[in-house]
């Protein structure tokens, strides 16, 4: 008997391929508030996620529920506008469904974006940062359980999960565009509550610069599938306790994303054109 996970992925990949404007070389997952910020590039095709069998639909404000398929410059791209999160009660299999789908329809590179809290005091709200590495504090791994041999090896190497070549390219593009691009290690927590000041102090001691509630499962799944990965995070607020007088709320996350949206969009478009 075949693996039901593989059967679901195969059916979804077939449905998606039938709707694509181009066969993608690059896939992109847009985080909180970035769906609207990125917009819909000229040409291409919008594909509602609801048309893809088995695809989990986002429920959080700031996350759209569709794909955009088309070319940016000469690069064929598939953009996922909005993601689902572990804290929504989803399984990790659902969280990484889109990432595995990207691999099955031919994407070799994954760009992941997110909103995060700044742990490192050298970061401020509105900073755009490359993710250099991550710490998984979700308490789970999307590769747990029987391996999907059709996608990758049982024990994937995570030592360079965020591809150094792509980070170098992003730094070069940011300089060309006049965008100040920071860097940092991202720690993923379960949420949906924001972290306590004591937790943030612990994460800082562990070497984390940014904290959020997404991205890590997708990156693990991408590494398992042999994809190159670039991670870009928007520090939308200072993490708990960094500014003792500040409070945290999702509206602030969305508003800060809107404030830096033009720079993020310009960076992503220029990056993709060189991939």
Interval 149-200: pLDDT, tens: 999 999 999 999 999 999 999 999 999 999 999 999 999 999 899 889 999 9
Give the pLDDT score at 123.
93
Q: For all residues of the chain together, what is the average pLDDT?
A: 89
Of 179, 90, 256, 161, which Cα lies nearest the Cα of 98? 90
Give the pLDDT score at 3.
83
pTM of the model: 0.91
261-268 mean pLDDT? 89
Q: Which domain holds residue 221?
A: 4-273
The b/e string for 150-159 (b: 16+ C-beta within 10 A; e otherwise) is: ebbeeebeee
**pLDDT interval class at 1 (50, 70, 90):** very low
Between 75 and 32, the more confident residue is 75
Q: Length of the chain in residues, anyone? A: 275
Q: Is residue 119 scored above 80 in pLDDT?
A: yes
Share of the chain above pLDDT 90, in %: 67
**Cβ-contact 102, 96 below 8 angstroms:** no
Give the pLDDT score at 39.
74
Between 24 and 256, the more confident residue is 24
**pLDDT interval class at 62 (50, 70, 90):** very low
34-39 mean pLDDT? 74
Q: Give catalytic residues, as residue numbers.
A: 32, 63, 85, 87-88, 115, 213-214, 237, 250
Give the pLDDT score at 85.
87
- Among 24-38, 61-75, 130-144, 216-230, the least confident range: 61-75
Interval 124-152: pLDDT, tens: 888 999 999 999 999 999 999 999 999 99
Q: In whole angstroms, what is the distance from residue 18 CA to residue 79 CA?
A: 16
What one-character DSSP code corresponds to residue 117? E
Distance of CA 181 to the CA centre of its chain: 17
Give the pLDDT score at 113.
92
- Residue 204: give its domain's CATH number: 3.40.50.1580
Q: In whole angstroms, what is the distance from residue 236 CA to residue 268 CA?
A: 18
**pLDDT interval class at 237 (50, 70, 90):** confident
Give the pLDDT score at 18.
95
What one-character DSSP code corresponds to residue 195? P
Q: How many domains does the chain have?
A: 1
Angle at 226 between CA 97 and CA 31, to 5 degrees: 45
Give the pLDDT score at 40.
77
């Amino acid at each position: 008997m075949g693996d039901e996970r593989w059967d679901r992925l195969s059916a979804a990949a077939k449905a998606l391929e039938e709707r694509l404007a181009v066969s993608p070389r690059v896939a992109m997952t847009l985080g909180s508030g970035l769906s609207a910020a990125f917009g819909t590039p000229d040409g291409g095709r919008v594909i509602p996620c609801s048309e893809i069998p088995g695809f989990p639909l986002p429920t959080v404000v700031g996350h759209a529920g569709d794909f955009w398929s088309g070319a940016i410059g000469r690069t064929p791209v598939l953009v996922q506008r909005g993601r689902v999160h572990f804290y929504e009660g989803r399984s990790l299999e659902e969280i990484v469904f889109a990432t595995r789908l990207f691999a099955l329809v031919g994407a070799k590179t994954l760009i992941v974006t997110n909103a995060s809290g700044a742990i490192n005091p050298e970061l401020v709200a509105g900073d755009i940062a490359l993710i250099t590495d991550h710490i998984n504090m979700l308490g789970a791994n999307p590769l747990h359980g029987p391996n999907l041999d059709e996608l990758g090896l049982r024990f994937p190497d995570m030592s360079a999960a965020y591809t150094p070549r792509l980070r170098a390219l992003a730094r070069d593009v940011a300089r060309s565009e006049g965008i100040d691009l920071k860097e940092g290690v991202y720690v993923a927590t379960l949420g949906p509550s924001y972290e306590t000041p004591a937790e943030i102090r612990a994460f800082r001691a562990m070497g984390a610069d940014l904290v959020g509630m997404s991205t890590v499962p997708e990156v693990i799944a991408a590494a398992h599938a042999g994809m190159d990965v670039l991670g870009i995070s928007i520090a939308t607020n200072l993490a708990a306790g960094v500014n003792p007088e500040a409070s945290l709320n999702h509206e602030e996350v969305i508003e800060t994303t809107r404030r830096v949206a033009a720079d993020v969009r310009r960076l992503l478009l220029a990056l993709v054109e060189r991939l």
